[in-house]
Amino acid sequence: MAHQQRSDGSDQRWLASLIETFEDVSRTEVRSVPCSHALLRDARAHLAAPKDVPGSRPPKRVRRVA
């Protein structure tokens, strides 16, 4: 599925914001701040949840041979 580029520049603003965020969190003083266990737990649960992506197919099941 091809990505359609927007003419309003929102893609570029989003990418610039993402890069700025990566730069901010890569600073030593930010990385040394502890993160709450609840936040980490919630982030892991969010990332592990199945995603419903339009146009995608479910993964093929691989049958293991013993």
For residue 24, being part of any structural domain is answered with yes
For residue 6, being part of any structural domain is answered with no
The reported pTM is: 0.45
The number of folded domains in the chain is: 1
pLDDT at residue 29 tops 80: yes
For residue 5, being part of any structural domain is answered with no
How many C-beta neighbours within 10 Å does residue 11 have? Answer: 13
Using pLDDT thresholds of 50, 70 and 90, give the confidence band for residue 50: confident
> Can you give the residue range of the structural domain that contains 18?
11-48
For residue 40, being part of any structural domain is answered with yes
| Distance, CA of 17 to CA of 42 (rounded, Å) | 23
For residue 30, being part of any structural domain is answered with yes
For residue 4, being part of any structural domain is answered with no
Residues making up the chain, counted from first to last: 66
Amino acid present at 32: S
pLDDT at 59: 63
